[in-house]
Amino acid sequence: MKVTLIPVTPFQQNCSLRVCEATGRAAVVDPGGDLDVIQGEIARQKVSVEKLFLTHGHIDHCAGAKTLAAHYGVPIEGPHPDERFWLDKLADQSTRFGFPAAEAFEPDRWLHDGDTVQFGDETLEVYHCSGHTPGHVVFFSRAHRLALVGDLLFAGSIGRTDFPRGNHADLIRSIREKLWPLGDDVTFVPDHGPTSTFGAERRRNPYRGRRSRRMSSEIYVSTDVEADGPIPGPHSMLSFASAAYTEDKQLIATFSANLELLEGAAPHPVQEAWWKTQPEAWAACRTDLQHPAEALAAYVDWVEALPGKPVFVAMPAGFDFTYMFWYMMRFVGRCPFSWSALDIKTLAFAMTGLPYRKNIKPRFPKHWFDEHPHTHVALDDAIEQGALFCNMLKDLRAMQAADAAANQEGDGSGQNPAEEPAN
């Protein structure tokens, strides 16, 4: 079987052309767009398209499927029926992400775990692997030891789970229970980026879901909460998001959720009036609502699977951590951050020399800020805040290094000779 990757759409999604070399018949997998490019490659190889396969319903993977299937007069197979949620929202996705208009459609065949699909003389096994999306599937050629994994797994990373109905724990479970048992020798083709093998990712992928016993580095989990009042219980958390950063400012994972309101809670008049001045942010946090128990359980699993010791970071931590701690204890019964949080305002107080109450963002050094928007959309603000913290941490480490160097002056022992005891 010959596989050709065809990067398409502004997201550089790996549409793939799979050809049965014995028959010259082919299948196109995840045609997200740029159909002229896909059709050009098909014509160049002089193959006959027999079917279209879809791994999942995100627009960069399936926006062109209906048109391409009609052009060649072939059926669409996949994904799993749980992906109807995303296929029904294709028009909304195209507007949101700036894609050409796309219409909702239903595949000619929904796929289930244990099914097979065929083209030419080739047979592919189907594995339902939820997590990135609820109805995501993986195609596996046992004869060629080759898997097409969509957005489930990447070389050095894993799929996002902060989209509606994504679930980090399910994604990790799919990787462990569905992919790893296929064998370390299996080469996989992700829908973004380069290929790799399951064996290589089992050994070195930092997101494979099981922390090394030797892992001691901290992961800074920048978290933003949007709420309709000052305290949880009487008021509700509307949405929350976390952006997980390493100390060197690598954004390694994100999580976000919009929540249903607490039963019996009501908005505070001050916050209610403020939200009326933020219509776009309000609309963003009131779509795709999840029950708090579902969202917080997935979040705790997400934090506990991070490749390091999680540290909660916020500004002000007194507000964000209060909400998150209350919700985690109320709906999950545990908090992976223990009882503490790192407050950016307090860190700034220690670094700037300004009075505590003067440590507000407009007074912070300009080089602490990257060009991230502050939109009052939880995920945007968590990412912005995490980058700010990492820039501060870089300055703090430089200050610590300078102090250490100053202490090393003299005889090189690290001790001031004047402080040595007399003979």
- The domains of the chain, with CATH numbers, are 2-204 (3.60.15.10), 218-406 (3.30.420.10)
Query: Residue 218: beta bridge partners?
Result: 309
Distance (Å, whole) CA 131 – CA 417: 61
pLDDT tens-place string over residues 164-183: 888 888 888 899 999 999 99
Residue 355 neighbours by CB distance under 10 Å: 8
Whole-number Cα distances in Å, 333 to 167, 293, 327: 19, 10, 9
Q: Is the dihedral of CA 285, 288, 293, 296 positive or negative?
A: negative
* Start-to-end CA span in the chain (Å): 83
pLDDT for position 157: 87
Alpha helices (runs of H) in 215-276, residue ranges in sequence order: 269-275
pLDDT for position 167: 85
What mean pLDDT value characterizes the chain? 90
Provide mean pLDDT across the span 380-386. 95
Query: Residue 241: beta bridge partners?
Result: 224, 256
- For residue 213, name the pLDDT band (cuts at 50, 70, 90): very low
Cis bond before residue 100 (omega within 30° of 0)? no
Provide mean pLDDT across the span 402-410. 70
- For residue 208, name the pLDDT band (cuts at 50, 70, 90): low
- Phi, then psi, of 46 in degrees rounded to 5: 55, 50
- Phi, then psi, of 170 in degrees rounded to 5: -65, -40
pLDDT tens-place string over residues 128-157: 999 999 999 999 999 999 999 999 999 888
Distance (Å, whole) CA 242 – CA 116: 38
pLDDT for position 305: 81
pLDDT tens-place string over residues 9-68: 888 889 999 999 999 999 999 998 899 999 999 999 999 999 999 999 999 999 999 999
Higher-confidence position of 228 and 309: 228
pLDDT for position 267: 97
Q: Where are the beta strands (DSSP E) in 309-416?
A: 309-314, 342-343
pLDDT for position 94: 84
Assess contact for 118 and 107: CB atoms under 8 A.
no
Give the SS3 label for residue 103. Answer: coil
pLDDT for position 242: 95
Assess contact for 227 and 323: CB atoms under 8 A.
yes
